[in-house]
Amino acid sequence: MASNRLRRIGKEIADIHADSHSQIKAEPFYSNDDVTHLRGSFPGPPGTPYEGGTYNIEIKIPTDYPFRPPTMKFETKVWHPNISSQTGAICLDTLSSAWSPVLTIKSSLLSLQSLLSTPEPKDPQDAEVANMLLKTPKEFERVARNWAVIYAGAPTSDDGNGSGSTVDEVQLGAVKDSLAKYDGYNKDLIDRFGSMGFDVERVVAAFRFAGADQNGGQDYELTEGQMGDITTRLLGE
């Protein structure tokens, strides 16, 4: 059964690689051959505040796949009523009650891309975002676009793409300045050490000392050796 599962996952990844039109991607989460832990990505849909951004998704494949859905969450922070602005958790029935074994990793990623185009504020994952969309939709669009620029790499100006919003350059500059002190490391990864009482600059210096990979600004699990080197450096200074 395990070999059938791995063969299916391998075929699904190959199908994604063969389809350049959709711009859907999926690769092992770490630099190894573990196809049960993937990083997927897709471009923000046109005509939405998310246009021009790239959205990364952490994907974990259960042991009884495809009879149970993959677990997915947004790595890229996104302002959307059906996605937690804090954790990236997703409210989507095709990843839970409406899952079917005929669905695939690719179809799931396409469903997430479609979700960005069709928010459902009356069935929210994030009540704050849903409330903003319902009460002040223009403000929702502005914040969603700002987040797309800051976190997903979308362009900073509205060039007629239909998003209907402009980026607050002052806010953008302030956030980028704040993120600069993380030196390219994932904010959540650094902040896990910061929660133990160490300031950001000191944690970043310890990461550099341990030779920890920036991993493109994405979160990841440190090796036992890296954890030991970082902790020793922090406690020894």
Q: Which residues are catalytic?
A: 91
Q: Which tokens sit at 82? A: 């059906």
Residues in Cβ contact with 151 at an 8 Å cutoff, skipping those fewer than 6 apart: 53, 76, 77, 78
φ, ψ of residue 40 to 5 degrees: the values are -100, 165
Q: Identify the CA nearest to 79 among candidates 128, 12, 136, 40.
A: 128
C-alpha span between 7 and 79 (Å, rounded): 36
Q: In what order do the strands lie in the sheet with 25-28?
A: 25-28, 37-43, 54-60, 71-74
CB-count burial class (<10 Å; 0-12, 13-18, 19+) for 207? buried
Output b/e per residue, 10-29; b: 16+ Cβ within 10 A: eebbeebeeeeeeebbbeeb
Q: Which tokens sit at 196? A: 């133990």
Q: How far is CA 28 from each of CA 1, 33, 58, 67, rounded to the nearest angstrom?
A: 21, 6, 10, 21
